[in-house]
Amino acid sequence: MSTLLTGIGELVTNDPERTGDGPDGRIGVVERAAVVVEGSRVAWIGPAADAPAADAVVDAGGRAVLPGFVDSHSHLVFAGDRAGEFAARMAGTAYAAGGIRTTVAATRAATDEQLLSGARRLVDEMLRQGTTTVEVKSGYGLTVRDEARSLAIARTLTEETTYLGAHVVPEGTTPEQYVALVTGPMLDAAVEHARWVDAFCERGAFDVDQARTVLLAGMERGLRGRLHANQLGPGPGVRLACELGLAAVDHCTYLEDADVDALRDSGTVATLLPGVEFSTRQPYPDARRLLDAGVTVALASDCNPGSSFTSSMPFCVALAVREMGMTPAEAVWAATAGGARALDRDDVGVLAVGRRADLVLLDAPSHVHLAYRPGVPLVAGVWQRGRPVLGATTLPAG
């Protein structure tokens, strides 16, 4: 079964073989384009006038199509919400890492079914906004049982699961005791359900030596490393991530020149999470500085109930453009191909022959509208692994 998606006014491919000069050069635009999808993969891309025949046809009506968003950072397995804490913060209370403990208590008290239905609702919400690949972390269990079941639940929704036992030190234990648990019995229980290991390296959470211990223990068991760092202030976390050759280090809000140099030299992706700065009234990270230095930048939602309860990658793109010095093309690349890099994936985030057919149809003529029309639900159709999951209709060919 093949489908021809034709009448595409602007196709964003992110294909390195199609990139060029100018502000949109990086995203490899093809105008008046068509895509042929066969099974779960892209089988052909080019000018609509040259498109081959297919079993079914979809007419995009001159609208824009881009790769599905790759959201490389989220915390979807939890119970309860923290709207009251958000309201208090907007009334002047500062954000502190310890608020995580509120969600931990609610998560431990929830059933597996409650946790799964909450996470599935958010994954569906993401899909409706064009996110076709999402990473999901544990980190609201903080016991052997609750971390393992959080990851097992996440695994039913995505292959990109991250063990974040080292989210915060729970009450009733010392940091030393807790790191021993996270690198011992908790890791034993988590490892079969996880692809990644992560830690929250920040004042009030884990220091750099503890973060290194957690990451190395996970990596020894075959997990790949990623890290939360430099969110609330400057610190050594970003340099640790670069030194260990992690795929990504996330937040990067407070950076010194040595951090930027280390990111550029190591190739570790800097994942920026502007929903957090929006929701905590913190200063935004300086994406322009990173891009000008040659650092690879990704955008992700950090969807979580405490510091960023948005599931919307279009919202993150709009914030990145308005507040962080990115061009629309840079932000769209960071939210698609950049997210794929941050997950060490080459099958998503790029539209080219053989890649996964994850596509988003915008009810707009170009990708620029994602930032130009903030807050407007522009996602009109989504295909995931070649299957229409939102809005798309196929017409019989001919």
Binding-site ranges for Zn ion (CB under 5 A): 302
Q: Flag whether 73 is marked binding.
A: yes
Comparison of 100 and 350: residue with beta carbon closer to Zn ion:
100
Residue 276 beta carbon to Zn ion: minimum distance, rounded to whole angstroms: 8
- CA angle (267 as vertex; 213, 350 as ends), nearest 5: 115
Q: Flag whether 302 is marked binding.
A: yes
Neighbours of 371 (CB within 10 A): 20
- For 357, which DSSP code? -
**CA-CA distance, 371 to 332, in Å (whole number)?**
9
Residue 356 beta carbon to Zn ion: minimum distance, rounded to whole angstroms: 25
Tell me, what amino acid is at 370?
L
Comparison of 305 and 386: residue with beta carbon closer to Zn ion:
305
For the chain, the farthest-separated pair of C-alpha atoms sits apart, in whole angstroms, at 69
Comparison of 24 and 302: residue with beta carbon closer to Zn ion:
302
Chain residue at closest Cβ approach to Zn ion: 302
Q: Which helix (H) or strand (E) holds 58?
A: strand 56-59
Comparison of 64 and 227: residue with beta carbon closer to Zn ion:
227
Tell me, what amino acid is at 128?
R
Q: Flag whether 231 is marked binding.
A: yes
Comparison of 14 and 74: residue with beta carbon closer to Zn ion:
74
Residue 277 beta carbon to Zn ion: minimum distance, rounded to whole angstroms: 13
Length of the chain: 398
**CA-CA distance, 390 to 375, in Å (whole number)?**
19
- CA angle (149 as vertex; 144, 154 as ends), nearest 5: 130
Of 91, 344, 50, the residue nearest 195 (C-alpha): 344
Cα–Cα distance list, 14 to 20, 49, 229, 289 (Å) = 11, 21, 28, 22
Residue 387 beta carbon to Zn ion: minimum distance, rounded to whole angstroms: 29
Residue 74 beta carbon to Zn ion: minimum distance, rounded to whole angstroms: 8
Comparison of 15 and 302: residue with beta carbon closer to Zn ion:
302
Q: Flag whether 251 is marked binding.
A: no
Q: Flag whether 193 is marked binding.
A: no
**244: exposed, middle or buried (C-beta count within 10 Å: 0-12, 13-18, 19+)?**
middle
Sign, Cα dihedral of 116, 118, 121, 127: negative
Q: Flag whether 75 is marked binding.
A: yes
Residue 251 beta carbon to Zn ion: minimum distance, rounded to whole angstroms: 8
Q: Flag whether 282 is marked binding.
A: no
Q: Flag whether 279 is marked binding.
A: no
Comparison of 13 and 131: residue with beta carbon closer to Zn ion:
131
Comparison of 227 and 337: residue with beta carbon closer to Zn ion:
227
Q: Flag whether 14 is marked binding.
A: no
Alpha carbons within 13 A on the beta-carbon side of 45 = 26
Q: Flag whether 82 is marked binding.
A: yes
Parallel/antiparallel/unpaired status of strands 2-12 and 56-59: parallel
- For 178, which DSSP code? H
Residue 132 beta carbon to Zn ion: minimum distance, rounded to whole angstroms: 20
**CA-CA distance, 104 to 143, in Å (whole number)?**
10
Residue 69 beta carbon to Zn ion: minimum distance, rounded to whole angstroms: 17
Annotated binding site for Zn(2+): 73, 75, 228, 302
Annotated binding site for N-formimidoyl-L-glutamate: 140, 304, 306
Annotated binding site: 73, 75, 82, 140, 167, 228, 231, 302, 304, 306-307
Annotated binding site for Fe(3+): 73, 75, 228, 302
